[in-house]
Amino acid sequence: MTRPLLEVEELSTCLELPDRTVYAVDQVSFTVGAGETVGLVGESGSGKTLTGASIIRLLPDSGRISSGAIRLDGRDLATISEKEMRSVRGDDIAMVFQDPMICLNPTMTIGLQVGESLRIHRHMDKAAERARVLELLDLVGVPAPSERIDAYPHQLSGGLRQRVSIAMALACEPKLLIADEPTTALDVSIQEQILLLLERLKSKLGMAILLITHDMGVISGYADRVLVMYAGRIVESAPTAELFRHPRHRYTEALLDSVPKIDQDQDTLLYSIPGRPPELTSLTPHCRFAERCRFADELCRDSQPPMVDVPGGGSHACYHPRPELGEAATPHSGPERTLGREVQTLVQIDNVVKEFPVVGRGLRQRSLGTVKAVSGVTLEVRQGETLGVVGESGCGKTTLGRMMVGLERPDAGSIAMDGIDLAQLRGRELRQQFRDRQMIFQDPYASLDPRMRVGPILGEPMAIQHLYGRAEREQRILELLADVGLDEAAVGLFPREFSGGQRQRIGFARALALKPKLIVADEPVSALDVSIRSQVLNLMRRLQAEHDLTYVLISHDLSVVRYLADRVAVMYLGKLVEIGPCASVYERTAHPYTFGLLRAIPVTDPGRARRRDREAVPGELPSAMHPPSGCRFRTRCPRAQERCGVEEPILSAVGGTGHLAACHFPLTDASS
């Protein structure tokens, strides 16, 4: 057999902290063949990123490779000097990181950053370097490379910044590309564009890819083989189709059970893996998943299961694997959704407009125009429902949500709650109205004051609103913690002492403090891995039932919206283009943009997950300062005609009750 391009053998990496040693990667072995894409999946803290960082030797100061071999084309990267490694890194092996804004230097133009590897490894002169950078930017799909080459990172969208990061990594045409969560922070259409780009570049350059992610849908559609990692160890390995069709390790099964699917039964709670991964401060020989596994017994807690080969080219380390003929997952049913209730409007939004001025640099601050964030949106939010608001980044979803809770004021139009328009209120009346509407933000760590303990964080809204006495307030804080599933001990801790999922629970508790009627949740689970995501979604369902809450769920994850929402509103470049009951919009899609978003959803069914030759929603979002005339989606729409450029479509009935779309040529069915 031909030797694999990458051979990782018994790799162990530890973090030497002041008070303890963390064994983050423990005896990990796998291979990656030339031209192959291998997916590495698992929860946050499983050791995925440190495995990738070990391979490319970019560990934190506290990290060190304690044992094992990392052979790239037969050369052991674990034993060579740092000077020798610098000649390999960026040339034979490269890495694309999760957040391009962090890995790109804000003080350097993208041209200089992409060209850095060429200067170091190819010793190019300035003219040759610039020509190659332009070629690379064009290769990764950056529009108008000659105009972008001298731009700074902050002047680019998230999708374009990630394309620049990929161009940097590909500058010297590496043999192996390590892509660490390359699409986590991107919306569904940009995510698909980046993954298709990597797929095409892999074929064009003949390189191998190690794709690190917690998104099982991404793995299903783009990996040839899958490695499942838990608590520092590989627990299962299999060809992609085989793993999704028949997972053997109980951890793999639990991960797949936790993923909300597009056809998920809304009357059943998602399965969530109980507990948390171990801290990895010891090397006790037992199954590390045993404490969270519904099938574990004494054997699992007393000894480490060996890796066992199975037919089909896979292997697993589990004493109680899923049987060959399959076994229905343990049902985890929850409270049924309240159906058939009387429909009452809680929030009425009428022809709302919001624009943000853009000014030039310098002393004169000359106006350059306005960003048209929300342009004439009209919709209603009904009492007790969950309304999902979806669309790409820059479509106006968050701005609309912020106006609903009063964090932004509309330039025109009105937003009334229970018939009361916030814009007409001042002083105490306005402050009282804020009690009824709260917002949960995407990044709980950024929205919680790091200098305050949890108790004061939860008590602050009540103090501002002059609610309750001190004793009552303290009791209310304990009730809130219990509501979101946190222990009383959390009162005295700081946000940094919690996991991402726990911090999001604190965000929910703070939003509930004033007993609101409406909660606008802005991407509440996008930063969470799959098992924590299912816990938070189940929490949202429970809290809604117990507190009679109305949700506006802003998200780019259409599977999450399909599971949680009653109705869905689709926004594009500040406009509402489709709205209706979820079942109708998802199954009888009318607008081409909605169809593209749905087609771009990564799915965990290997029979449906397929690589595509073109993007479901091609191209980049046009400028919100100068949106296209007529239908704003026409520049990316495969059905656009002359009428679309001169006449703006209006929302019209396209199917069942309440299903509206703004399209001159709506789809007759989802196969159009």
Structure confidence by residue, pLDDT tens digits, 79-113: 999 999 999 999 999 999 877 777 889 999 999 99
Q: Is 309 helix (H, G, I), strand (E, B) or coil?
A: strand
- Does 25-60+81-316 match 342-359+367-384+391-436+567-604+613-672 in CATH topology? yes
Is 364's pLDDT higher than 70?
A: no
Domain 25-60+81-316 has CATH 3.40.50.300: yes
As given in the structure block, the two tokens for residue 563 are 């599971």
Confidence band of 334 (pLDDT split at 50, 70, 90): very low
What confidence score (pLDDT) does residue 312 get? 79
What digits encode the pLDDT tens for the residues 22-47?
999 999 999 999 999 999 999 888 89
Residue % of the chain over a pLDDT of 90: 56
What digits encode the pLDDT tens for the residues 146-163?
988 999 988 887 778 888
What confidence score (pLDDT) does residue 20 get? 87
424 vs 345 pLDDT, higher one? 345
What digits encode the pLDDT tens for the residues 642-661?
999 999 999 999 977 899 99
Give the C-alpha distances (Å, rounded to integers) separating 31 from 36, 218, 273, 386.
Answer: 10, 20, 29, 45
Name the percent of the chain in helix, strand, coil, to the closest 5: 35, 20, 45
What confidence score (pLDDT) does residue 160 get? 83
Is 553's pLDDT higher than 50?
A: yes
What digits encode the pLDDT tens for the residues 166-181?
999 989 999 999 999 8
What confidence score (pLDDT) does residue 361 get? 63
Q: Where exactly are the structural domains of the chain?
A: 25-60+81-316, 342-359+367-384+391-436+567-604+613-672
What confidence score (pLDDT) does residue 4 get? 92
Lowest mean pLDDT among 358-367, 405-414, 453-462, 545-554: 358-367
Count the alpha carbons within 13 Å of 235 in the hemisphere toward its beta carbon.
31
Residue length of the chain: 672
Q: Which residues partner with 586 through β-bridges?
A: none
- Cβ neighbours, 10 Å, residue 36: 18
Fold category of 342-359+367-384+391-436+567-604+613-672 in CATH: Rossmann fold (3.40.50)
Over residues 441-460, the mean pLDDT reads: 88
Q: Residue 357: phi, psi to the nearest 5?
A: -70, 145
Is 399's pLDDT higher than 70?
A: yes
What digits encode the pLDDT tens for the residues 472-490?
999 999 999 998 888 888 9
Distance CA 263, CA 47 (A): 31
Over residues 535-555, the mean pLDDT reads: 91
- Cβ–Cβ < 8 Å for 666, 591: yes
What confidence score (pLDDT) does residue 207 get? 92
Q: Residue 526: phi, psi to the nearest 5?
A: -65, -30
Q: Which residues partner with 578 through β-bridges?
A: 570, 661
Q: Residue 152: phi, psi to the nearest 5?
A: -100, 160
- Cβ–Cβ < 8 Å for 564, 540: yes
Over residues 582-590, the mean pLDDT reads: 93
What confidence score (pLDDT) does residue 569 get? 97
What confidence score (pLDDT) does residue 614 get? 59
What confidence score (pLDDT) does residue 466 get? 87
What digits encode the pLDDT tens for the residues 189-213?
778 888 888 888 888 888 999 999 8
Q: Quick one: angle between helices 500-512 and 454-464, nearest 10?
A: 20
For the chain, give the mean pLDDT. 87
Confidence band of 316 (pLDDT split at 50, 70, 90): very high
Residue % of the chain over a pLDDT of 70: 93
